[in-house]
Amino acid sequence: EHPGEIRLILGIQPARPSDMSRIIPLSEVQKHNSKKDCWVIVHGKVYDLTKFAPEHPGGSHIIHTFAGKDGSRIFDTIHTPDIFDKYTEDAPLMGTLDPKDVSEKKEEDVVKKGEKPPLDFLLNAFEFEQVAKNCLSAPAYAYISSGSDDEVTLRENHSAFGRIWLKPRVMVNVRDIDMSTEVFGYKMSFPVLIAPTALAKLAHPDGEKCYCIGAGNHEIIQIVPTLGSLTVEEITAVRQPNQIHFMQLYVNTDRKKTESLVKRAEKCGCKALFITVDAPQMGRREKDMRMKYVPQATNQEDHDQKGNRGGGTANYLSSFIDPALNWSDVEGFKKMTNMKIVIKGIQCAEDAVLAYKHGAHGIVVSNHGGRQLDYSRSAIETLPEVMDALEKCGAKGKMEVFIDGGIRRGTDILKAIALGAKAVLVGRPIIYGAAGYGADGVTKVLQLLKDEFRTAMMLCGTTKVKEIDSSMVSTKSLHHHYVASPNIDMMEYGYQPFSKL
């Protein structure tokens, strides 16, 4: 795992255990401070990362930055403490730092949590982002919140819901509301799944376990990410009895590694495989790219990396994702596993129909949270044309349809269901809930969405999810776009000024 699944994806194999008996003074560690000889201290242990640095998915420069130094603090934001204990061939343990050289953390070295209100004070998903921004490091917030290019699609994802109007009904008996639904035959308390967002330890030390606990508390399904901070085994280990998980997959250029991960997910009890197909190339997430620019190693031999901002946290994702993935591969995945096959990243009616024709059991209408192609349409705008096309080809009702992107309110959930979605995937609000309050925050975010959804159902005069349909909404304005092109105002207010970097 590096982080989580990443080391296994890259094919770095476990090796022999190392000797902890050697005591190494700090002065000795400081001598190994170059690309060709790179030792790093992590939690009092000294590792030789010379061979590992070129393999590091986040780039070698971050490893070389801490050559001859202590890299514990930044290590903790992404990795589990025992990574190097499990995989030591490329990162051998040289020994233990001399206790005399282990000093107490200075106050300025401690990442301070921002002030935050009591959990009960928060009333909606938007407020959790404000709290999270104060709790997350600047690079972490940049990675989580960023969209591609000018972030027009990022903003449009939620704005589009505002162009759909509801039609309240009155004099209907709504005393008893049933918000439950079924996805592939598995019952959920309301139609929300936790989206497979990567690197949860950027938000909270417990990583994806927070999401698993929150999902279990509300009897909904968590989709485990390929690029988690924790492995699928570690995440599913904390689930409640009868709790269901699905698995998200980025397809590796080495299909044997992909098959290995699929088999592990199936062994852990995952019931569906959500294959992400909209990322043959990562979008340019400039906020992330800029904030992830860290000081380079100061050795003269590192001059070739000076001024290289790299691609941010998202950059390493494209290092293994197979850009050759195509429709003919779907049949191979169906033979590979008994899990339901869901194609995640559908953005037009034509591809929805192709997914059906190639045997997919479901699709996610999604633009990757506004993080891929800027000026692509929102999922909620694309959904009606997808449902129309599926009906015309006889696929409606034969393939489950989900959407994600921009869901922040219970009314957003109702609008999506009314236009044909079986359920919605919620991502960033879950991350922000964990960032401020851990599993309790995730549970609270879901509770707020559930309460809002219940209210929306009651005021629209419906008592069951299956009764929600397009007669409850007006979409006359949905396709009317009012988008401000990037201009000086957006440069001033939408981007991080260089002076603050």
Residues taking part in catalysis: 250, 278, 368
Cα 262 to Cα 273: distance, rounded to the nearest angstrom: 8
What are the phi and psi torsion angles at 246 (to 5°)?
Answer: -110, 170
Residue 345 backbone zone (phi > 0: left; psi -120 to 50: alpha; other: beta) = left
Match 């982080």 to its residue by tokens.
Answer: 3
On whether the CB atoms of residues 427 and 197 are closer than 8 A, the answer is: yes
**Nearest to 195, CA basis, from 442, 404, 399:** 404
Sort strands 33-34 and 37-42 into parallel, antiparallel or unpaired.
Answer: antiparallel
On whether the CB atoms of residues 414 and 164 are closer than 8 A, the answer is: no
Could you please report the per-residue DSSP string of 47-91? Answer: EE-TTTGGG-TT-HHHHHHTTTEE-HHHHHTTS-TTHHHH--SSS
**Nearest to 340, CA basis, from 282, 291, 400:** 400
Cα 466 to Cα 328: distance, rounded to the nearest angstrom: 34
Match 């690309």 to its residue by tokens.
Answer: 35
Token representation of residue 118: 């009591």
Sort strands 221-224 and 192-194 into parallel, antiparallel or unpaired.
Answer: parallel
Token representation of residue 396: 């409606």
Give the count of alpha carbons within 13 A of 64, CB side only: 23
Alpha-carbon torsion, ordered 141, 142, 145, 150, to 10 deg? 160
Token representation of residue 491: 């440069």
Buried b (16+ CB within 10 A) or exposed e, 188-201: bebbbbbbbbbbbb
Radius of gyration of the CA atoms of the chain, in A: 24
CA geometry: angle at 225 spanning 407 and 219, to 5°? 60
Could you please report the per-residue DSSP string of 402-465? Answer: EEESS--SHHHHHHHHHTT-SEEEE-HHHHHHHHHHHHHHHHHHHHHHHHHHHHHHHHTT-SBG
3-class DSSP assignment, residue 7: helix
Cα 45 to Cα 93: distance, rounded to the nearest angstrom: 7
